[in-house]
Amino acid sequence: MGWLEYMIDNPGRLIGLGVEHATLALIAVAVSGVIGATVGVLTYRRPVAASIATAVAATMLTIPSFALFGLVLVWFGLGNTGVVVTLVVYALLPIVRNTITGLQEVDPAITESALGMGLSPRQVLLRVELPLAWPVIIAGLRVATMLVVSILAIGAYIGADGLGNEIFRALSNIGSVWAFDVAIAATVSIVIVAMVLEAFWVLVDRLTTPRGLRD
């Protein structure tokens, strides 16, 4: 269990990298959330537009991350910016799809009664549809976060911060006594980051979902 010893001996280093990792992942999800939710809100009432938005987001997810990293390297050079841009693209699918689904699944009777009382379509969206779709949108953000946390590890290849650096450091020293343990320790740390972020979303979900919607 050399990797465990490595973790115990180097807590500061791993925690520092883990915080970087989590921060970059959340920044990417936040940006993607704003873009994805906007796309969802603009398309959910038009079935054709909604299908196109979902299909485009899905297609982007099929691009191998190495290929995309190569492309952004051309535009942004080495460093965090290019990696975050890539992560935003990957995170779009679950966010766009869940926003659209959440908004479309609002009971039409609720929207009709809201309109019937004289709420404008904009007020219906802000006061009724978005609050009701919120738990579904949060679920999308959770999935997006998991996706981003794992892809970010590879981002170290083009100069991103985070736990990926530890893995690449180990891989470039493969054959040495400690390389294998370091790689495992970094991987376990990534799993821990994922679990902490998952807990974060569970908490956000709890705190922001109105009582009337909880089971």
Partner 1 sequence: MDAMIRLDALTKRYPGQEELAVDNVDMEILPGEIVVLVGPSGCGKTTTLKMINRIIEPTSGRIILEGEDVTDVNPDRLRRRIGYVIQQVGLFPHQTIASNVATVPKLLGWGKERITARVDELLEMVSLEPRIYRDRYPKELSGGQRQRVGVARAMAADPPVMLMDEPFGAIDPITRDRLQNEFLRLQEEIQKTIVFVTHDIDEAIKMGDRIAIFGDNHRIQQFATPEAILSQPANEFVDDFTGTGASLKRLNLVRVRDVDLGEWPTAISSVRREDALAQLDEVDQAFLLLVDSNRRPVRWVSRRDLSRADWNQHVGLPVRAQVPLNATLSDALDEMLTSSVGVAIVVDDGGAYRGIVDIDTVMTAVNTLRAETRERVAVAAWHAPAGAVEEGGA
- With CB under 8 A, what is the number of residues at the site for partner 1? 21
Shortest distance, CB of residue 132 to partner 1, whole angstroms? 6
Does 131 bind partner 1 (CB under 8 A)? Our answer is yes
State the Cα angle at 86 between 93 and 184, rounded to 5°.
100
Does 193 bind partner 1 (CB under 8 A)? Our answer is no
Does 126 bind partner 1 (CB under 8 A)? Our answer is no
Taking CB under 8 A as the criterion, the residue among 22, 39, 68, 114 binding partner 1 is 114
Taking CB under 8 A as the criterion, the residue among 47, 55, 112, 206 binding partner 1 is 112
SS3 category, 79: coil
Taking CB under 8 A as the criterion, the residue among 35, 119, 139, 192 binding partner 1 is 119
Token pair 């959910």 is at which residue? 44
d(CA 60, CA 86): 10
Subset of 79-108 contacting partner 1 (CB under 8 A): 107
Q: Which has the closest alpha carbon to 39: 90, 85, 95, 77?
A: 95
State the Cα angle at 186 between 185 and 190, rounded to 5°.
115
Residues that bind partner 1 (CB under 8 A): 107, 109-120, 123, 128, 131-132, 210-213
